[in-house]
Amino acid sequence: MDRKNFIKKSGAGVSFALFSGLIFCKREDQDTYRVISNDPKVIRDTDGDVLNVIGDIQTHKLLGTETNNQIFEWVDNVEPGVGIPLHVHTKEDEIFRVVKGEVELVIDGKSTILKEGDIAYAPKGVPHTWKVVGSEKAKMITSAIPAGIEFMFKELAQLPPGPPDFEKVAEICGKQGITFI
């Protein structure tokens, strides 16, 4: 079989196999399906929904409903001293990309300072934490693979202002398979 025919035939088969699984998705905690978009998208720096997730100012850029639940991506704009306690994910891997400032990241007990342009990967099942260090605000692009964690962030952002009720935070995070250590 020549290359052109192979591409035509295999492309049609692969497209059918993938397309049939891309139209609908189901969240694990829901009984209903919803239509998913898998269209190309350009996201500008000023685009997205801004949420205050217990001091972590997040701009949600790319949602699971836009990526066939493959990825959720957000931008953290965080003041010095703000961070996330040591925790473990059971459902998603995370990728951290520092755009501005410095972030101390601890993954599996190993600490490193991420600076502008640095990237780190925290796979599910591995304890990790991060904290903005230095004197300037940090901007970090974070990706979760697969998507789904955005629902947890929306729920956390609805908590009343002030010091968070850790038991309530742990309960909300627990629904996403995240535990604090």
The band of 38, judged by pLDDT with boundaries at 50, 70 and 90, is: confident
Per DSSP, what are the bridge partners of residue 73? 62, 143
With beta carbons less than 8 A apart as the criterion, state whether 69 and 25 touch.
yes
Locate 144 and state its tokens. 């979760």
| Residue 162 in this model has a pLDDT that exceeds 90 | no
| Residue 147 in this model has a pLDDT that exceeds 50 | yes
**pLDDT of 19:** 42
**pLDDT of 34:** 55
Within a 10 A sphere around the Cβ of 168, how many other Cβ atoms? 13
Tens digits of per-residue pLDDT, 51-97? Answer: 999 999 999 999 999 999 999 999 999 999 999 999 999 999 999 99
Q: Which amino acid is at 73?
A: E
| Residue 22 in this model has a pLDDT that exceeds 70 | no
With beta carbons less than 8 A apart as the criterion, state whether 94 and 78 touch.
no
DSSP, residue by residue, 93-157 = EEEEEEEESEEEEEETTEEEEE-TT-EEEE-TTS-EEEEEESSS-EEEEEEEESS-HHHHHHHHH
* Beta strands 110-114; 34-35: pairing state: unpaired
Query: Percentage of the chain surpassing pLDDT 90?
Result: 75
| Contact residues for 158 (Cβ-Cβ < 8 A; gap 6+) | none
Tens digits of per-residue pLDDT, 92-102? Answer: 999 999 999 99
Over range 156-177, report the average pLDDT.
95
> What domains appear along the chain, each with residue ranges and CATH number?
3-35 (no CATH), 49-180 (2.60.120.10)
**pLDDT of 6:** 52
The band of 151, judged by pLDDT with boundaries at 50, 70 and 90, is: very high
**pLDDT of 21:** 44
| Residue 8 in this model has a pLDDT that exceeds 50 | yes
Tens digits of per-residue pLDDT, 116-128? Answer: 999 999 999 999 9
b/e burial code for range 15-34 (CB count within 10 A of at least 16 → b): eeeeeeeeeebeeeeeeeee
With beta carbons less than 8 A apart as the criterion, state whether 94 and 143 touch.
yes
Over range 140-165, report the average pLDDT.
96
**pLDDT of 131:** 97
